[in-house]
Structure 1
Amino acid sequence: MQYKDYYQVMGLSRDANQDEIKRAYRKLARKYHPDVSKETDAEAKFKELGEAYEVLKDPEKRAAYHQLGANWQTGQDFKPPPNWNEGFEFKGGGFTGSDAADFSDFFEQLFGRTGFHSAHTERHFGEHLRGQDSHAKIHIDLEDSYHGATRTISLSAPEMNAQGQLQVKHRSLNVKIPKGVKPGQHIKLAGQGNPALGSGQAGDLFLEIAFNNHPLYRVSETDVYLDLPITPWEAALGAKIKIPTPEGKVDLKIPPNSRQGGKLRLAGRGLPGKVPGDFYVELQIALPPANTEQAKAVYQNMQQTLDFNPRQTMGG
């Protein structure tokens, strides 16, 4: 995937204000509109311009785009950094202009086809207007879901100053992480969204949960998986060993004649909940290296003693 410099597309500096962005778009849209332009690549330029304007005219998308840094060049191979939009606070969401089908892979990797999030916006019409809900993604440790926790999170929200230039405000909140929360779930913080006009009620803040990468475990729905290395003799003869789990070490019985990739299930030891998930151990047989004369002799003895050909069914 190639990086797109939207400022270069529109001939603007990164500190351009909103009026400059609008003027640049109107000028270039007239130049490249396929119905009137004589440029050979007018249609492609017009689509690229529409995508750039979709990002730069929207303070939220523009601020998120700035998170990627200013050192990328158009055409460079690009992959969004892990958790690049963590703690970034968004409001309404969705698209406001161009057809999403025309957006590039670069745009879709950052913003998707339907905006940053699912809208929870609630409007109450009458004498006072309720403040707009806001949304952010936060990453927690797997252990936080097992035990529950209170975490301090940092949020960043874009806003325009009086000169129409983009700036970002920051705030910190103490958030209670409920036991059993799963990736993709939302924590609602009532009244922590955007303030209302006048004396209306403030909106709510919805925090989408994601898990940090864990050095041992991976998660699928409510189940948790551990890749467990075992020795060839443990696989062949069986063994009883201690293994780590997010709730502490437990004894695990390895059945004799276990195979590479075999799964052992610990029922109910996955993510907590009314119906808890399961904990799965996937066996990974690790071969000792034949890096000494003694080790080589052991392998040679196995070769001579054991009548074993794993390719027998292939005619080998």
Structure 2
Amino acid sequence: MEFKDYYTLMGLARDASQGEIKRAYRQLARKYHPDVSKDPDAESRFKELGEAYAVLKDLEKRAAYDALGSGWKAGQDFRPPPGGNGSFEFSGGGEGDDGNADFSDFFASLYGRRSGHSQTAGGAYHARGQDHHAQVSIDLEDAYRGATRAISLQTPEVDEHGRVHLRRHTLKVVIPRGVRAGQHIRLAGQGMPGMGKGPPGDLYLEVAFHLHPHYRVEQRDVYFDLPIAPWEAALGATLAIPTPDGQVDLKIPAGAVAGRKLRLKGRGIPGATPGDFYVVLQIALPPADSESARDFYAGMAAQFPSFDPRPSAGH
């Protein structure tokens, strides 16, 4: 996705004060409000300004944006670092704090789409601390077996002079067996400290999976692309298939075609109703990189003169 320079959108320097940010937004919002502006791009410009302001007015979000976005220019292809290392911890509910704002995928990639958890007050002088939220990435294998992992988080904090800085801290987290992407792991008492004798809030970790070199994940189902030779597809074979939970022997039926899915029931991510593991067949052709190989392919063409690989192409 493209990097969005929120400072440029609002015509601000990166060291702009919070007062300058507020004044710039008010001026531009009046200028581009769809009910006032005759600019054909007013509506999209107004939405972009709202998204930029939602980040820059919030000291926590602004600190995270400044740390992740330094050195990037508007329009450059941007991928934020994985949530498992250096994730940002936020008070409140992330995007939920801004109501139903129509924010972009770029915004969501930085701050997530999390639901809020309300602060519970315990009295005039004693109040429970706010819950905190962060996103973390884990290995798919951790969801199969469970694990204990050290996770490093960065928490934006404001010092006595009103400056924002990042505090890094490390937590030991138990990854439960069977956790899915999008689920939350609750760490009781790891949120913001309470006021007076009020208890601390909790920390909610939203789980994502690291990109895996071999597997794709959909809910609890796991997909694996398996290259097979033409003779294995034509004649059938029994092959050893690697899964996140160990090797499994799989029978490839004779006459298999590319794209066919073979299901290993219950071999997906564990759970009360476990997911399935799907092997997606891909036919790999030997290269015609020698005269004998080319003669072999020519012989195949002669052997199957009536074979039509494109029967539905309408020719």
Same fold (TM over 0.5): yes
User: What code does the residue aligned with 1:79 have?
Assistant: F
* 2:225–2:282 CA contact under 8 A, matched in 1: yes
Does the residue aligned with 1:295 lie in a helix, a strand or coil? helix
Q: CA deviation at 1:298?
A: 1.1
For the aligned residue pairs, the C-alpha RMSD in angstroms reads 3.1
Q: CA deviation at 1:6?
A: 2.9
Q: Is it true that 1:193 corresponds to 2:207 in the alignment?
A: no
| CA offset digits 1:60-88 (Å, max 9, x no partner) | 211221233322234x3343335369621
Does the residue aligned with 1:130 lie in a helix, a strand or coil? coil
Unmatched tracts of structure 1, length 5 or more: none
| CA 1:208–1:31: 2 relative to 1, 3 Å | closer
Q: Is it true that 1:79 corresponds to 2:78 in the alignment?
A: yes
Structure 2 partner of 1:158: 156
Structure 1 partner of 2:117: 120
Structure 1 partner of 2:238: 240
Q: CA deviation at 1:110?
A: 4.2
* Distance (whole Å) between structure 2 residues aligned to residue 244 and residue 46 of structure 1: 50
Structure 1 partner of 2:291: 293
| CA offset digits 1:191-222 (Å, max 9, x no partner) | 00110111210000111111111111111111
Unmatched tracts of structure 2, length 5 or more: none
* Distance (whole Å) between structure 2 residues aligned to residue 283 and residue 219 of structure 1: 17
Q: CA deviation at 1:32?
A: 6.9
| CA 1:305–1:135: 2 relative to 1, 3 Å | same
Structure 2 partner of 1:253: 251
Structure 2 partner of 1:217: 215
Identity within the alignment, %: 53
* Distance (whole Å) between structure 2 residues aligned to residue 208 and residue 109 of structure 1: 13
User: What code does the residue aligned with 2:170 have?
Assistant: S
* 2:22–2:57 CA contact under 8 A, matched in 1: no
Alignment of 1:3-82 (within 5 A): 3-10=3-10, 12-16=12-16, 20-26=17-23, 29-30=26-27, 33-34=30-31, 50-74=50-74, 76-82=75-81
| CA 1:159–1:225: 2 relative to 1, 3 Å | same
* Distance (whole Å) between structure 2 residues aligned to residue 49 and residue 265 of structure 1: 48
Does the residue aligned with 2:271 lie in a helix, a strand or coil? coil
* Distance (whole Å) between structure 2 residues aligned to residue 274 and residue 28 of structure 1: 50
- State which drifts further: 1-10 or 191-200: 1-10
- State which drifts further: 155-164 or 60-69: 60-69
Q: CA deviation at 1:266?
A: 0.9
* Distance (whole Å) between structure 1 residues aligned to residue 140 and residue 27 of structure 2: 52
* Distance (whole Å) between structure 2 residues aligned to residue 32 and residue 136 of structure 1: 31
* Distance (whole Å) between structure 2 residues aligned to residue 312 and residue 14 of structure 1: 60
* 2:21–2:53 CA contact under 8 A, matched in 1: no
| CA 1:290–1:89: 2 relative to 1, 3 Å | same
* 1:51–1:98 CA contact under 8 A, matched in 2: no
Does the residue aligned with 2:7 lie in a helix, a strand or coil? helix
Q: CA deviation at 1:98?
A: 9.8
* Distance (whole Å) between structure 1 residues aligned to residue 247 and residue 29 of structure 2: 65
| CA offset digits 1:251-286 (Å, max 9, x no partner) | 111111111111111111111112111111111011
User: What code does the residue aligned with 1:100 have?
Assistant: A
* Distance (whole Å) between structure 2 residues aligned to residue 106 and residue 152 of structure 1: 27
User: Aligned to 2:278, which of 277, 280, 291?
Assistant: 280
* Distance (whole Å) between structure 1 residues aligned to residue 7 and residue 154 of structure 2: 22
